């Protein structure tokens, strides 16, 4: 309720004027008590929907914003683009997200952090908190699965790529969601079947869960029919869509490895905008 009132007041203050930000560019992140993020806005932005994108392991929001072609796929469609930055999983180590994987060294709750980011961009940029698409790549994609499971109310749609649950894999999620998962058929970094990764320094093994098993969980939580209602095959893409009682579930497989298919941003937004509820 507070967020909606704040957004309404912000809208009144900025009505008829393009919104200008004092932070968010590649060299000037927006800083919060819990972390920082970068943001790009469409030309003449006056408020509206937002895409929040979570980078991969070792990345940052600044690095994402430097990929102008990727960002502009969303801003050209009228979406604000927000790129939060993960924290090092241990001092001196690469940035990572607080994915549940049996590893307990993460310095913050990223579910809380992402809520803080959204609350800030509602005030700072007048984004619509009811029109959020949460996306992420690799470990960022795994964090999208985590948020969808632990905080299904955070976004209208979840569009992870090349990442999923880790072991020990949860068996319960708090609510149904709209999810579009994208994965490379030949991905060797995050294979569809999962893989184990051993850390010699800390003598610990963590295991990527089976993507198929994770999708089965989402079918159960969304009360989907067991078999896909639609199967669409083209030269480079294989798509499955399940008929669900709650939320929705769709899978895109592409014929590449650990990456995105061509025009992925367009596909993700087309999917989001096709939702009926």
Tell me the CATH number at 138: 3.40.50.1820
How confident is the model at residue 13, as a pLDDT?
Answer: 45
How confident is the model at residue 276, as a pLDDT?
Answer: 67
Q: DSSP letter string over 37-93?
A: EEEE--TT--SEEEEEEE--TT--HHHHHH-HHHHHHHHTTT-EEEEE-PEESSTTS
For the chain, helix (H) and strand (E) counts, in that order, are 7, 15
Question: What does the DSSP 8-state code read for residue 247?
Answer: S
- State how far Cα 19 lies from the chain centre: 25
By residue range, what is the domain housing residue 183? 2-273
Q: Around Cβ 56, how many Cβ atoms within 10 Å? A: 25
How confident is the model at residue 104, as a pLDDT?
Answer: 81
Consecutive sets of 10 residues in the chain, 277 residues long: mean pLDDT of each?
44 61 96 98 96 98 98 98 96 95 91 98 97 98 98 98 96 96 98 95 93 98 97 96 97 98 97 85
CA distance 263 to 160: 15
Contact 77, 45 (CB under 8 A): no
Question: What does the DSSP 8-state code read for residue 17?
Answer: S
CA distance 42 to 197: 40
Contact 159, 144 (CB under 8 A): yes
Torsion sign across C-alpha atoms 64, 67, 68, 71: negative
For 72, 81, 86, the CA distances from 36, given in Å and listed in that order, are 21, 14, 8
Dihedrals phi, psi of 214, to nearest 5 degrees: -65, -40
How many separate domains does the chain show?
1
CA distance 260 to 172: 28
CA distance 254 to 272: 19
215 preceded by a cis bond (ω within 30 of 0): no
Question: Of 220, 226, 222, which Cα lies nearest the Cα of 240?
Answer: 226
């Amino acid at each position: 309720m507070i967020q909606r009132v704040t957004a309404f007041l912000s809208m009144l203050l900025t009505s008829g004027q393009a919104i200008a930000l004092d932070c968010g560019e590649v060299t000037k992140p927006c800083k919060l008590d819990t972390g920082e993020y970068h943001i790009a806005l469409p030309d003449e932005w006056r408020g509206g929907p937002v895409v929040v994108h979570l980078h991969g392991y070792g990345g940052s929001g600044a690095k994402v914003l430097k990929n102008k072609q990727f960002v502009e796929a969303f801003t050209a469609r009228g979406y604000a683009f927000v790129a939060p930055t993960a924290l090092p999983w241990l001092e001196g180590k690469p940035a990572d997200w607080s994915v549940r994987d049996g590893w307990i060294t993460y310095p913050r709750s990223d579910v809380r952090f992402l809520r803080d980011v959204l609350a800030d961009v509602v005030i700072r940029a007048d984004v619509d908190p009811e029109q959020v698409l949460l996306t992420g790549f690799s470990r960022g994609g795994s964090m999208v699965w985590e948020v969808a499971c632990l905080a299904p109310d955070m976004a209208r749609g979840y569009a992870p790529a090349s990442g999923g649950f880790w072991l020990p894999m949860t068996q319960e999620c708090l609510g149904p969601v709209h999810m579009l998962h994208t994965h490379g058929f030949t991905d060797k970094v995050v294979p569809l079947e999962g893989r184990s990764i051993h850390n010699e320094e800390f003598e610990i093994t963590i295991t990527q869960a089976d993507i198929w098993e994770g999708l089965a969980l989402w079918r159960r939580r969304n009360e989907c029919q067991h078999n896909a209602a639609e199967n669409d095959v083209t030269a480079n893409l294989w798509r499955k869509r399940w008929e669900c009682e709650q939320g929705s579930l769709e899978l895109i497989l592409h014929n590449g490895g650990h990456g995105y298919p061509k025009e992925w941003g367009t596909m993700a937004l087309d999917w989001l905008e096709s939702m009926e509820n």
